[in-house]
Amino acid sequence: MTAYLKLDHIDKIFTRGAATTEVLKDINLTIEKGQYVSIIGHSGCGKSTLLNIIAGLTGASTGGVLLENREVNSPGPDRAVVFQNHSLLPWLTVYENVKLGVDKVFAKTKSRAARDAWVMHNLNLVQMAHARDKRPSEISGGMKQRVGIARALAMEPKVLLLDEPFGALDALTRAHLQDSVMALHQKLGNTILMITHDVDEAVLLSDRIVMMTNGPSARIGEVLEVPLARPRKRLELATNATYLKCRQRVLEFLYERHRFVEAA
């Protein structure tokens, strides 16, 4: 297997005064180009910390992240993040929010007109071109997240990091957006790493599901391959034996072997 993104023996220890908490322990993972990988685990297990380490927003205590065999330890557009709460800048329009990244990444390689076209192309990909001049406060939660995805995609990242991207959305909007992300993945062939706590979402979208044990000192408990052919259809999968088996495996991991223990 060719490693595109490689997490190499990552530990993360938080220190506050005299108290130290080991959040992540010995995380090893390799992701191939074009793969869709989900990381699932109970809340508080350090999923988001792991994503922040990959994004370079926090540093690992030991170990490191390799992207195309190069170590990456600071944030950059090659690992664009779609944040859980969209994080659009409220004083910019939809267009300007996407353009912020595009102007920076393609400052030297694209002309002004080409950058403008590229922004509109990406807004079109997520069907948000119609709202280009609206501000984030004027569009719905699902639309904001679409713009967030467009902003990340427009930076042409090598790996797209999704931090519980659908967590704050209602069920119907979430299903709609999942379908959109699947279609985009199919069309563009991005490498995607997604944090989630939704079992159905993980099985539906992923090629592989990384299941994490409970923290502190969370490890990778199990990695499950999802051998379902793409394109996947939500309704067909509802009765698909492989889908149900995968779903069963994840549920067993989360609710039998690593039941969520209330920390406080």
Binding footprint of another protein on the chain (CB under 8 A) = 55-57, 74-77, 79-81, 83, 85, 87, 89-91, 100-101, 104-105, 135-137, 155, 233, 235-236
Nearer to another protein, 26 or 236 (CB): 236
- Least separation in angstroms between residue 155's CB and another protein is 7
- Least separation in angstroms between residue 75's CB and another protein is 4
**Full 3-state SS string of the chain:** CCCCEEEEEEEEEEEECCEEEEEEEEEEEEECCCCEEEEECCCCCCHHHHHHHHHCCCCCCEEEEEECCEEECCCCHHHCEECCCCCCCCCCCHHHHHHHHHHHHCCCCCCHHHHHHHHHHHHHHCCCHHHCCCCHHHCCHHHHHHHHHHHHHHCCCCEEEEECCCCCCCHHHHHHHHHHHHHHHHHHCCEEEEEECCHHHHHHHCCEEEEECCCCCECEEEEEECCCCCCCCHHHHCCCHHHHHHHHHHHHHHHHHCCCCCCC
- Least separation in angstroms between residue 235's CB and another protein is 5
- Least separation in angstroms between residue 222's CB and another protein is 30
Nearer to another protein, 176 or 249 (CB): 176
- Least separation in angstroms between residue 91's CB and another protein is 4
